[in-house]
A and B are shown apart, each in its own frame.
Chain A
Amino acid sequence: MPTLQRDWWALPTLQSTNVTLTYVLMRNLTRNPLRTGLTAVAFALPMGIFVLALSLVVVLTEAAAKNEKQLRLAVRNKMALTGYLPDGVRRKIEELDPQRQRLRAVCAMRWFGGRVPDTQDTLTSLACDVDTFPVVYSDFELSPEEGARWQSERRAAVVGDGVARTHGWHVGQRVELKSTIPPYLRLEFMIVKIIANSSPPNMFYFRRDYLRDSLEADGATGAGCNLIWVKCTSAANLRALQQEIDALFANSPSETKSEDENAFISGFVQAIGDIPGLARSMALVVVFIIALVAGNSMMMSFRERTSELAVFKALGFPPRRVFGLVLAESLLLALLGSLLGIVPTATGLALIPRQMLISASFSPPRFSALAVVGALTIGIVVGLLAGVWPAYQALRLRTTDALRRVA
């Protein structure tokens, strides 16, 4: 670069300036604060929802992985979940492995349909076999004292943390449930255990012998169950037993349908609504919307500054730097908006105790680094996608045409 040699060219520095392209980039975001703000918010809100949705998917996926480890096989009436299976089915299943090498325990359950009196809160309430329940649900981690109380107290109940929190229940408390199915029994229970991280959070387990005796005392039959859980010793044994059990009861009056816990739950959940699928779809819609919003904003910004970008080129800025400037601006805006949505949501999920969010019917999402990284990645990709077309336009911009248009 040639240098000026006049005396005045050597005047002392008056004040500092020192602009950089990064500074220009940052200042460009303040050019139209309202539009930048609205675009950032348009990013932030969906990104917050995205983190929530993804956290929920992660929680559900983790729950599914946890279930898989439990090696539980659900056996039910092939015709319908509400259909009964005779009590003898449990015994016949146990006889498939008398040495208990392939199955650990079998627990039959009967649907109670209990509702908390004076509320509309219907719980997933199941009467379970007293002897095998703690073995089949070893993941509930009943302490020796809790196990002893479950065995000794006929009205013992093990409840999910969601329902306990909703109704302010605690261990040792006596509670009542009223059945929503004939003969509409109203039973009293005593809570012996609250399950942490119960999924779903509105579970209510109690003893089947207590239900049977109560039904018979009321003149109804207490025999039969809706569901039998078989705790297996390995995944291979689970698959083998699944086929053996269904084969055993094939062509009998009580044909069975056996499936692993995740398949059973997903079938059950999908009857209500495919929550993970819904969450994923929502996330996709969110990404699509913000891509449109950001793309539109960047195009508007580019159109307003066509002549300015042309001047950058005229001054000697290489086209690739002008391309980078536009693309970086889009990326910066996307990152800003994404962080605006991600940080408060993730912080909220990380800091707000799960117990405050949980309810009888809602299993809240938990902070997930995966969701945060996923959302940030999406933000970056959307920022790049939104900026690439305006940046390409800037790259191809003919300086002379752009200057002529303005003049």
Chain B
Amino acid sequence: MSAADIELVEVHKHYRKGRIDIPALDGLSLTINAGALVAIMGPSGSGKSTLLHLVGGLDSPTSGAVRVGEAQLARMSERELTAWRSRHVGFIFQMYHLVPVLTAAQNIELPLLLFHMPASERRRRVDTALEVVGLTDRRDHRPSQLSGGQEQRVAIARAIVTDPDVLLADEPTGDLDAKTSEEILNLLSLLHADFGKTIVMVTHDPRAAAYGQRVLHLDKGVLDRDEVNPRVAQAVRV
């Protein structure tokens, strides 16, 4: 069980489209404590996904510093970031992005291929992850044989199977109905509460954001509001 804090200092991220310079993040600074569950909201183009990608080491800032635990991401090379991601970050995507030709168990096992780990240990971790997300009886089902909620559970199991410090969820309920969304959010809350994972979740949905201890509102690349959700903050033991 491990978690990491996150710190962004004066982070700028600009994209170029032809000759046009598009600022996605404009001097953003914020801190997220280890073991926190934070929701990020904001209109389209506000920089939510960019922030998630920077924290996940999928992209580098134009300027500024991004630190996750001990790692100064802005100073790391592409190769170092790749290796770091495999050990410290778990991603959960809106569209699940499971490999359709593999079973649920095999999808979950994929990230473990990056580690020198005995097959028996891999099996044990996969079984455990399946148990956590409540899909033990669906282990040999292909994604096409699962419902949207079950697919997202498999994606969550894939994200936690390496025991990462940080879980990054990009619109994890964006493709699900209300009831299934609630199940997924409860699962994320469980991972947060029982295993102390730092979870950063980007969402458009206020009901999903309500599961966060903090809700960060971004607008035009800057932090517009930083709200604390007292009900969740109190309930969660960090």
Taking beta carbons and an 8 Å cutoff, which residues of A are in contact with B?
A: 1-6, 8-21, 23-24, 27-28, 30-31, 307-308, 310-319, 399-400, 403-404, 406-407
Contact = CB atoms under 8 A, between A and B. Distances in A.
A1 B101 contact: no
Given A9-B128, A13-B124, A317 B114 contact: yes
Contacts of B165: 2
A18 B119 contact: yes
A28 B53 CA distance: 28
21 contacts: A1-B115, A1-B117, A2-B165, A9-B128, A11-B124, A14-B139, A15-B139, A17-B106, A17-B126, A18-B109, A20-B113, A21-B113, A31-B101, A308-B97, A308-B99, A311-B91, A311-B97, A315-B86, A315-B114, A399-B59, A400-B58
Contacts of A12: 124, 127
Which 9 A-B pairs rank lowest in CB-CB distance, beginning with the nearest? A316-B86, A27-B101, A19-B106, A17-B105, A311-B97, A4-B163, A316-B85, A2-B2, A14-B127
> What bracket does the count of chain B residues touching chain A fall in?
35 or more
Contact of A316 (B49, B93, B114, B139): B114
Contact of A1 (B53, B140, B163): B163
A23 B119 CA distance: 14
B49 A404 contact: yes
A19 B58 contact: no
Given A11-B128, A17-B139, A27 B102 contact: yes
A23 B106 CA distance: 10
A316 B95 contact: no
Nearest to A399: B58
A308 B155 CA distance: 13
Interface of B: 1-2, 49-50, 53, 56, 58-59, 78-79, 82-83, 85-87, 91, 93-95, 97, 99-103, 105-106, 108-111, 113-115, 117, 119-120, 122-128, 130-132, 136, 139-140, 158, 162-163, 165, 170-171, 194-195
A27 B107 CA distance: 12
A307 B108 CA distance: 17
A307 B128 CA distance: 27
Contacts of B59: 399-400
Contacts of B91: 311, 314-315
Q: Which of B53, B85, B97 is packed against the most chain A CB atoms within 10 Å?
A: B97
A407 B131 contact: no
A406 B95 CA distance: 8
A4 B1 contact: yes
Contact of B82 (A15, A27, A308, A318): A318
A308 B165 CA distance: 23
B58 A407 contact: no
Given A28-B101, A316-B83, A15 B127 contact: yes
A407 B114 contact: no
